[in-house]
Amino acid sequence: MGQRRSISGSRILITGASQGIGKALAEAAAARGARVLVCARKRELLDELAAVIRASGGTIEVVQADITCPDDRRRLVEAARAAFGGLDILVNNAGIGATGHFADCSADRLRQIMEVNFFGLTETTRAFLPMLKEGTRPAIVNISSIAGKRGIPARSEYSASKFAVQGFSEALRAELAKDGVDVLVVCPGLTQTNFSQNMIEQKALVQMDHMRGMSAEDVAAHTLRAIEKGYNETCLTLNGKLMVLVSRFFPWIADIIVKRKVRGLFKEEIEARRQGQGAEVAPRPMETSHERQA
């Protein structure tokens, strides 16, 4: 457990705030009295968000920024200092994804996912650490995923990036204990956002129905509660919690389930391969003693 804190009056930066969870977080935090700084790559969506929050009496500043760009990260630090005189809470929410089996995808795709989901997150954290150490009950909040607790077939690259976030967060939590900076992790399950439409590529045979998941507003509410209570880790949705539980205590069951699912989807391909291999290794006719001598 970390420190308890109030959302009201806190200075919060939310990355990837133009849509989905980030947008819902900005609206909810501003409604509760936080001073919010948001960033994303799409300026027009940020301006729309700002107009809504200001119309409701909230405090918000916007910066068009790509967290993978060092110059943009520096501009975010400068904006936080100029607008609020510092920062108390950094919410690393920006992320991208893709689907498809690892063997069928390019190295560039993996690097792009890791660049945003991991390196963008870690370097944004690095840029703000000096400022956070001066903040009031400071916290770093990393929005991970249930896929960072259990690898999901056809989402190996995304899972890898979120596993990296998990490991980074756990190590950083211990390192920053001496500085009074909490490191919290929130792991959403399926969420009703445009995340699937914004993916780099979709090659999975079975697409997850994100509209059956938790709403972005509910994820935002759980995230703000985790920040207030200082929860080190928060896993969301019933199915997500069950997956984490089974993977932790009965990993062999989880392995059997996902392997069976994949084999079922590729049944025809597996059968064709077996038949082809059978033809290649078909037994040769028995040689006669005469043929052996030859």
Nearest to 247 by CA among 238, 236, 255, 259: 255
What residues are annotated to the active site?
A: 158
Ramachandran assignment for 100, one of left (phi > 0), alpha (psi -120 to 50 degrees), beta (any other): left
Mind giving me the DSSP string for 215-267? EHHHHHHHHHHHHHHT-SEEE-SHHHHHHHHHHHH-HHHHHHHHHHHHHHHTH
How many other CB atoms are there within 10 angstroms of residue 207's CB atom? 11
CA distance 91 to 124: 10
CA distance 204 to 200: 12
Q: How many CA atoms lie within 13 A of 222 on its CB side?
A: 20
CA distance 268 to 288: 39
Torsion of CA 266, 268, 273, 279, to 10 degrees: 170
DSSP 288: P
Query: What SS3 class is residue 96?
Result: coil
